[in-house]
Amino acid sequence: MQQYFIEEIDGKFRLKQEDFYHLTTVLRATNKTIICINNKDAYLCNFKYDGKDYNIEILEKQNRDNELKVRIELYQALIKNDNFDLVLQKATELGASAISPTIFSRNVVKIEKSKEYNKLIRYEAIVKNASEQSHRNIVPEIMTITNVKDIKINNDDEIGIVCYEKCDDTKSILSIKNKIKDAKTIKVVIGPEGGITTEEHHILLKNGFYSVSLGKRILRSETAAMNILSILEYIIEIEG
């Protein structure tokens, strides 16, 4: 069933323009049952369109919360467009609460300041579509572009994880499983195609992060993001 994030205006549910277009022009819907999300709450609704105006009738409020109980912030290196888009989509499906395009020394992709706003708007559209497809109760926040050196652990109920190849400071994720379960916010850092520099790694450790290995093999940046988010989802949602 199609899901849409809507606004309530003057007591009525109203669709975003692009969603109205999708329903009426792409799907050619005139009378259709849909799910509407307003302020994280899900409603089963009936959409009716007479060719001029539309009405959304609430049939029932659904007892549904598809969100993780922990806030996950993904600090993903800027990588080539198609791969970054894939990370946005899959991170949304896997429960990320916020995603920040992140600058590393070895980033291949760089965004000009003049194009930054349009890029972030495009990223927001991708996570919105992925949230609707995966029946999220929220749309993940697209945070402003961040430099990796500025990411810090600020509170006792936060934990930071940087995915890094095996070294003396690197731990198994199982060794911090209980800390993950106790956290209210998990910050995850994923490096670029060329990897995280030693300096950047040491700065993250100094800023309160745990260095975690994802196994013996070297993973592509987009694969590492999906891997760690899947592991976190299992620890938080399945193991509880």
Residue 186 is predicted with a pLDDT of 98
Residue 166 is predicted with a pLDDT of 66
SS (H, E, C) 30-65: CEEEEEEEECCEEEEEEEEECCCCEEEEEEEEECCC
According to DSSP, the β-strands at 12-14 and 31-38 are unpaired
**Average pLDDT for 108-135:** 93
- What would the pLDDT profile of 2-39 be if each residue is shown by its tens digit? 999 999 999 999 999 999 999 999 999 999 999 999 99
pLDDT at 101 over 70: yes
Sequence spans of domains, the chain:
3-62, 71-239
pLDDT at 115 over 90: no
Of 45, 139, 63, 51, residue with least CA distance to 97: 139
Burial class (CB in 10 A: 0-12, 13-18, 19+), 91: buried
CATH topology agreement for domains 3-62 and 71-239:
no
Instruction: Please report, rounded to a whole number, the percentage of residues in the chain having pLDDT higher than 70.
Output: 98
Model-wide pTM > 0.75: yes
pLDDT greater at residue 41 or residue 238: 41
The partner residues of 212 in beta bridges, in order of sequence, read 163, 171
Tell me which architecture the domain covering 3-62 has in CATH: Beta Barrel (2.40)
Mean pLDDT score of the chain:
93
CA dihedral 127, 131, 136, 138 (to 10 degrees): 40
- What would the pLDDT profile of 123-182 be if each residue is shown by its tens digit? 999 999 999 999 999 999 999 999 999 999 989 999 999 998 766 678 888 889 999 999
Tell me which architecture the domain covering 71-239 has in CATH: 3-Layer(aba) Sandwich (3.40)
Residue 188 is predicted with a pLDDT of 98
